[in-house]
Amino acid sequence: MTIVGNYIGGQHVASASGRTAPVFNPATGAQSKEVALSTADETRAAIATAQEAFKTWSKVTPLNRARIMFKFKELVEANADELAELITSEHGKVFSDAKGELTRGLEVVEFACGIPHLQKGEHSLNVGRGVDSYSQMMPMGVCAGISPFNFPAMVPMWMFPVAIACGNTFVMKPSEKDPSTTMRLAELLTEAGLPDGVFNIVNGDKESVDVLLTDEAVQAVSFVGSTPIAEYIYSTASAHGKRVQALGGAKNHMIVMPDAEPSQVISSLMGAAYGSAGERCMAISVAVCVGDAVADHLIKDMTAEIEKMSVGNGMTSPEPHMGPLVSRVHADKVLSYIDSGVEEGATLVVDGRNFKVVDHDNGYFVGPTLFDNVKKGMRIYEEEIFGPVLSVVRVNSYEEALQLINDHEYGNGTAIFTRDGDTARNFCENVQVGMVGVNVPIPVPMAFHSFGGWKRSLFGPLHMHGPDGVRFYTRMKTITARWPTGLSAGPEFSMPTMK
Ligand code: NAD
């Protein structure tokens, strides 16, 4: 069976660890590959390679770094079908959704192509007589990225294009559940002309991650994954002097006001709750209906729409709306959440348990599930399920809905559906969440803005890509220079001030 190894110094390198994890096709449940779980020493070797490459890569002009990004973008586009097929075969999301993920990743590459402009810095002429001051955005050195299973192309592409374009070198640790897409991206970077050692991949688990968090040469760590691990990454890497951005889990609420356009609400909610089988950090998992009339209508219309949904293998034609979950373990976890919702007294309107797909008996399928009368304190309300399970919470007023969202521990994304500008504006101003949609269910910022949540959805001050991405992967150096030297004055023993 194929063992996915590492990609170090511009080539595939087998791991000698002797430890591996299985990679499955979630639609069939068949094992397709194994992925190496690298040793601490192998991870250190990747870091050392990146450190060596930094010496020359950081001196390459921004224009030439951008040219490699332009070429990489072309190559990803030319290989998009193959990459999307890889995503579907290891993650399970349907093919068109996999292509959509690639497009969103490519938008960050396009953003990174603008690095000569983005990294220009600041300049002040004559801050004193004959004295100029300028600030340069310098690359950091070796940066590390650790990514989750749910976006094996897009999330790494939130990180490495900006980091590399800024002049850093990179060590990526993909999810062990679907490592192949990131490996293919590494090959395409080499084909695009990226010098060997600038982008490296180490496959592995906690053993390799711990090296990335503690090795002296690593300057910055980007992480996306679940909140407990994000918190661990943030505290460990920060304690070792690194700059860290660690994005965690989510529980995204959508408020439905009585004046919202019903058909827009239903079509938006269907995609936002069940697209990618709910395995999106920006998926809507809670619909907060203001008033019983709104809730009754929504439950009736959603039930009718769910009945029309197709679920199956994401590579079949016609394409189903939704594929399987990523693993048996994860599907079982989602099923146990549905059990707990029933036990805790929520009304199970559509039951996705015991869901079977023809000829795919061993696939990790859970059908779309809808709960009504979900209440604060229930596990299905408080915890992130990360599956095709939508909870409807009934409230009596907009204020109650807002309070509910602000009281939740997560603050990644949220949305409000209304035709009232005053309510929408009040919501944008007062909701304690990082990414907010108004009549937009999944308000993922474009690549030229930054992506990140609040509260326990993000640890660290800077969001990903966009302006924050450039800030995260650079550090400022400010130079104050006096020319010509003939203007030099005598020694000054008091605090220097510009005259
Ligand atoms: P995860 O936290 O289990 O794993 C993420 C990464 O951390 C993987 O590479 C994994 O190998 C590594 N890891 C796991 N356990 C570790 C440990 N003990 N020590 C060190 N490293 C460890 O997350 P997942 O299940 O792959 O992804 C789903 C989660 O990611 C969900 O919670 C989802 O909300 C979150 N997510 C968040 C965002 C966001 O933008 N906030 C985006 C995508 C996914």
Do residues 60 and 68 make contact, with C-beta atoms less than 8 angstroms apart?
Answer: no
487 pLDDT band (50/70/90 cuts)?
low
For residue range 33-51, what is the model confidence (pLDDT) as tens digits? 999 999 999 999 999 999 9
Q: Which residues pair with 256 in a beta bridge?
A: 289, 417
Q: Is residue 307 scored above 70 in pLDDT? A: yes
Once rounded to an integer, what is the mean pLDDT over residues 346-355?
A: 96
- Which one, of 253, 292, 194, lies nearest residue 402 by Cα? 253
User: Is residue 186's pLDDT more than 90?
Assistant: yes
User: For residue 234, how far is its CA from the centre of ligand 1 (angstroms)?
Assistant: 13
- pLDDT of 498 above 80: no
Average pLDDT, the chain: 97
- In the predicted structure, residue 65 carries a pLDDT above the cut 90: yes
Predicted confidence (pLDDT) per residue in 308-345, tens digit: 999 999 999 999 999 999 999 999 999 999 999 999 99
Mutate which of 201, 206, 229 for ligand 1? The one with the most ligand atoms within 8 Å of its CB, which is 229
281 is a catalytic site residue:
yes
Q: Are 227 and 67 in contact (CB under 8 A)?
A: no
Pocket-testing residue among 19, 205, 457, ligand 1, by greatest number of atoms within 8 A of Cβ: 205
- 488, pLDDT greater than 70: no
Is residue 489 predicted with pLDDT exceeding 80?
Answer: no
- Given 113, 166, 281, 289, which residue is catalytic? 281
Ligand 1 geometric centre to CA of 261 (Å): 36
Q: Which residues line ligand 1 (CB under 6 A)?
A: 146-151, 155, 173, 175-176, 205-206, 209, 224-226, 229, 247-250, 281, 384, 386, 412, 453, 457
Which distant-in-sequence residues (6+ apart) come within 8 Å of 343 by Cβ? Answer: none
Angle at 144 between CA 142 and CA 150, to 5 degrees: 155
CA of 227 to the centre of ligand 1 (A): 8
In angstroms, rounded to a whole number, what is the distance separating the alpha carbons of residues 244 and 234?
A: 6
Average the pLDDT over 418-445 and give the result: 98
Across the range 463-492, mean pLDDT stands at 89
**Residue minimizing CA distance to atom 43 of ligand 1:** 281
Give the pLDDT confidence score for residue 490 in this predicted structure.
75
**Among 183, 209, 221, 286, which is best to mutate for testing ligand 1, by the most ligand atoms less than 8 A from CB?**
209
Q: Are 279 and 151 in contact (CB under 8 A)?
A: no
Q: Give dist(CA 175, CA 203) in Å, integer.
A: 8
Residue type, 118: L
Tell me what pLDDT residue 165 has: 98
Q: What is the pLDDT of residues 107-163, one digit of tens each?
A: 999 999 999 999 999 999 999 989 999 999 999 999 999 999 999 999 999 999 999
Q: What is residue 496's predicted lDDT score, i.e. its pLDDT?
A: 76
pLDDT at 175: 98
Query: Which residue has a Cα nearest atom 42 of ligand 1?
Result: 281
Query: Quick one: pLDDT band at residue 493, thresholds 50, 70, 90?
Result: confident
Ligand 1 atom nearest to CA at 173: 9
Calculate how far, in angstroms, residue 393's C-alpha sits from the geometric centre of ligand 1: 27
Cβ neighbours for 278, distance < 8 A, ≥ 6 positions apart: 285, 385, 386, 387, 388, 389, 390
User: Which atom number of ligand 1 is nearest to the Cα of residue 453?
Assistant: 41
Q: What is the distance between the alpha carbons of residues 424 and 434, in angstroms, rounded to a whole number?
A: 16
Has residue 185 got a pLDDT over 90? yes
| pLDDT of 194 above 80 | yes
pLDDT in tens, 76-122: 999 999 999 999 999 999 999 999 999 999 999 999 999 999 999 99
The residue ranges of DSSP E strands in 147-290, in sequence order, are 169-173, 199-201, 218-224, 243-247, 252-256, 284-290
The answer on pLDDT for 499 being more than 70 is no
Structure tokens at 417: 């559906």
- What secondary structure does DSSP assign to 418-447, as a single string? -S-HHHHHHHHHH---SEEEES-SS-PPPT
d(CA 26, CA 89) in angstroms, rounded, equals 7
Q: What is the CA radius of gyration of the chain?
A: 25
Give residue 485's pLDDT: 75
Short-list 162, 160, 201, 156, CA closest to 183: 201
Q: Measured from the CA of 457, which atom of ligand 1 is nearest? A: 41
